[in-house]
Structure 1
């Protein structure tokens, strides 16, 4: 009888436990509530420090630009240079300047530093024309670099996007107005919010309202304000220069490619109505420049699909100030420290060591990187094939014009798919399957471009495309806005010869100050 009573008790205890925990949904974590004396319009970072000194201290850790991971990091270097730091890095992409020929990205493209440097690096980058009163790019570029965007959009509305970039330089404080607290938090109570116009509108288009999102969803959506692909709207489709997320057909590269077919206004044969970022100077191909689609890559990866948020990995909990638990506001890679892996990956993968987990990340990145370089070289070969075909003086296929349209369309698509992985800042780890699939398609499209170009010339250009692409088209190591003011520089590489000579000019802007400004 005692044994029966014991068994009955144990069975009841187990059953009760299952009912209590197994049949009840876990509650949504409750966000702590705060009340500050800050107005809703406050955008200065320093004003948040007195209320949240510990969080702010971790935010300032983003100033550390001295650490690298295996494939990334925050040490500023030129991403096309295969050299030692500080100029280059062992994992480089030597053809970046070639592939962006004729677009400001070819002037300068560096490893991104922490968010605290966002404004400094934007105002200093050679992509913005600092040698002129006209920047050459719209104010849209501020959208993901400064909390001042909140003020400007409120003041100017949709007219803001196409205004002169330089007009706003002198309003900026490089530290107080860089990406920070107000971009993601309501200053009055620190609730997570969306301040990005393009994300708000993209969600509405999907029938979603971020105000109804769960806390866990918001821990990714605040990052999706900027870590996404976007483009500057064509004037034929709405306010010019306005940032738009091309999500209407889906978040995969194929979806976006189809989307871009109908959001421009060009009447160029074969590309009627297509959106164009720029036309490649060498192959005369209408191109798309991808930005940094971390959100689109991660959301349906193994972690994103399982409900892991961006903040889980990039804002792990830390215990500071007498063991107080906070979310770290050092937005960086967990790979930078063993403790970082333990506080992120190790929270779920409890049976694995930090060393093992780090090795798995690098395993996926290594395989992605190998295919990324293959896709890059095939894209260069495609541009060169079209250049050779266009200038070929031998026999031409009777269908030459259509074949060349086909070749350029495949260049456009192959380059966009390569860039979708290249511009994404995880070297494939956020979604290894999508990264490798995207690169495989990029390689296929670029090879098809080569094939079309050879058919157009009845394979007359084939001998000129044999061998190592680095011998056929050497990587361009040096190119800048100032160098393009030199004919000698343009004569130094066949591809550079397709660029116009820029007029000689002196520097007008140094960060947020005019050079040689006259005193008032």
Structure 2
């Protein structure tokens, strides 16, 4: 008995000793974590002018970061689903560089009547942003005026700060082509000054829309954590936004639709009262354009990376955009700096950005998990896209139906168009977001499932409005009923023969013959000529 009690006593002493040791260690552990969280960045006082917008001006004092930034020039490296080759995003027929196997074939159908239907290419690096912007067919280069507001410059250059200072809120509604030749295309593209104060190198906002949004949320930029700032500087542009109607405030000024939340349903609810639509059933809705085939008032999603990320597994855990897309690197002299090649971690064979946290996993394993999520998302993206096209076609058939109609025909058609609008917006929320769902797999798949449900409801409501007479016309493969539009541009829309090549083109006007007025920044002829 004595031996047993003695053993118990020893065990108790060991346990109590271990507990005391653990308690004594905790303050040191917590202090260590606190120290890591509160690490201060170096303090700089540069010789760069306060209003400098040229990235080359930062080279002398920050040569290693600048060299890293120049890697954004690469335009040949692909991942499985994306990359820097500027292929046509609707072309899954031709090989790179014109098309790619993971393109979505119905983009031109779904955006018909809107500038996005003319050209939508995979993005190159940030250093190519101005060059690509000035050559994109979405801006009308066959006239003096581009037909889009100056707002389009907002996410392309730090010159925005000077223009807003010069013109105030009158800037946004000016024509985009007015500033075409007022910028250094190579040196004033997205760069250092978009994120850093030139004199202190502190992170800063140049975006007026994000400043407005933070103010509306009662947030003070100077009081935000550095980690929040490291994502919000990316969130200046990698977000959903719209150009405000003049009845709601400053005409064409970008606004983030975050008042009700970051998810597509919350944004869709917001858009119902954010505009000046007079269309019956959509009064007060915000509308980007009306689809010419279904006569539906549409919303074009932009690129909601910030909204997708922030309540995904990484965003919710406090992993910033910079942690993954600006992973630390070692210079030749062994100095540790943030990489300024803003790109996918998948382009690194060693997956170093991911392995900063997932050090117990191999690069092959980590890559396989990303591709697994992306493939599941892309499969559902194509299904949602097909159903959205079918919804437009169903409403078209119902609107042109000449047979007996039910008493509630008009109400059914309003509901059908609302479901067309909602289904396409939910699809576009995922389609326009550049991670192919990886930033938030659960949200991406849920959004696409909802998109499919809404689009199918549109088909059902349109069919009901005709006493189901059009159901037989919608049975079968939608790719045969409404073929994808592979080729379409402003120039092609000037050709009457081209306008006979697709059944949906009859809902568009043939454009008058015209020669190019602009080639990049070069003016070829005057509009009068």
TM-score by length of 1: 0.96
Structure 2 residue 337 is the aligned partner of structure 1 residue 326: yes
Q: Is the 8 A contact 1:227 1:292 kept in 2?
A: yes
Give 1:508's aligned residue: 517
| Structure 1 CA distance for aligned equivalents of residues 191 and 32 of structure 2 | 38
Query: Residue 223 of structure 1: SS of its match in structure 2?
Result: coil
Number of the residue aligned with 1:29: 39
- Tell me what 1:43 maps to: 53
Cα distance in 2 for residues equivalent to 1:355 and 1:445: 38
* 1:65 counterpart = 2:75: yes
> 8 Å contact 2:516–2:525 — kept in the other structure?
no
User: Match for residue 249 of structure 1?
Assistant: 260
Secondary structure of 1:246's partner? coil
Q: C-alpha deviations, 1:378-408, integer Å up to 9, x for none? A: 0000000011111112221221111111100
Q: RMSD over aligned Cα, in angstroms?
A: 1.9
Does 1:182 pair with 2:208? no
User: Within 5 Å, which residues of 2 pair with 1:332-347?
Assistant: 332-339=343-350, 342-347=351-356
Verify the 8 A CA contact 1:29 1:215 in the aligned structure 2: no
Give the gaps of 5 or more residues in structure 1. none
Distance 2:474 2:361 in 1: 48
TM-score (norm 2): 0.95
Note the C-alpha offset of 1:343.
Answer: 2.0
Mapping for residues 296-311 of structure 1, pairs under 5 Å:
296-311=307-322
Deviations 1:85-119 (A, max 9, x none): 01011101000000001000000000001000100
Distance 1:371 1:188 in 2: 47
Deviation at 1:13, TM superposition (A): 5.3
C-alpha displacement of 1:77: 0.4
User: C-alpha separation between the residues in 2 aligned to 1:487 and 1:210?
Assistant: 54
**Alpha-carbon distance in 2 for matches of 1:432, 1:12:** 43
Q: Which residue of 2 aligns with 1:91?
A: 102
The answer as to 2:383 corresponding to 1:374 is yes
Map 1:149-298 → 2, pairs under 5 A: 149-298=160-309
Structure 1 residue 517: Cα displacement: 7.5
CA distance in 1, matches of 2:13, 2:284: 79
User: Would the aligned equivalents of 1:31 and 1:215 in 2 still touch at CA under 8 Å?
Assistant: no
| CA shift in 2, pair 1:432/1:11, >3 Å | closer
What displacement does 1:207 show?
1.1
Aligned length, in residue pairs: 515
Structure 1 pair 267–11 and aligned structure 2 pair: CA distance change class (3 A): closer
Distance in 1 of aligned mates of 2:504 and 2:164: 40
Q: Of 433, 438, 450, which residue of structure 2 is paired with 1:441?
A: 450
Structure 1 stretch displaced more, 384-393 or 471-480: 384-393
Matching residue of 1:78? 88
**Match status 1:353 vs 2:389:** no
Query: What does the per-residue CA deviation read over 1:213-260, in whole Å, with 9 as the maximum and x for residues that have no partner?
Result: 111111100000000000000011111110000011111101110110
Inter-partner Cα distance in structure 1 for 2:522 and 2:491:
19
Match among 460, 469, 481 for residue 478 of structure 2: 469
Match of residue 109 from structure 1:
120
Change in CA separation of 1:184 and 1:23 when aligned onto 2, cut-off 3 Å: closer
SS where residue 235 of structure 2 aligns?
helix
Is the CA contact 1:411–1:445 (under 8 Å) kept in the aligned structure 2? yes
Q: State the alpha-carbon separation in 2 of the partners of residues 459 and 79 from structure 1.
A: 35
Q: Distance in 2 between matches of 1:507 and 1:8?
A: 84
Counterpart-to-counterpart distance in 2, 1:509 and 1:327: 39
Q: Which residue of 2 aligns with 1:417?
A: 426
Q: More deviation in 504-513 or 294-303?
A: 504-513
Deviations 1:23-65 (A, max 9, x none): 7652322111111111221111111111101100010000000
Q: Could you say which residue in structure 2 is the equivalent of 1:365?
A: 374
Distance between the aligned counterparts of 1:374 and 1:234, measured in 2?
33
1:164 Cα deviation after fit: 1.6
1:68 and 1:399, CA in 2 relative to 1: closer, same or farther beyond 3 A?
Answer: same
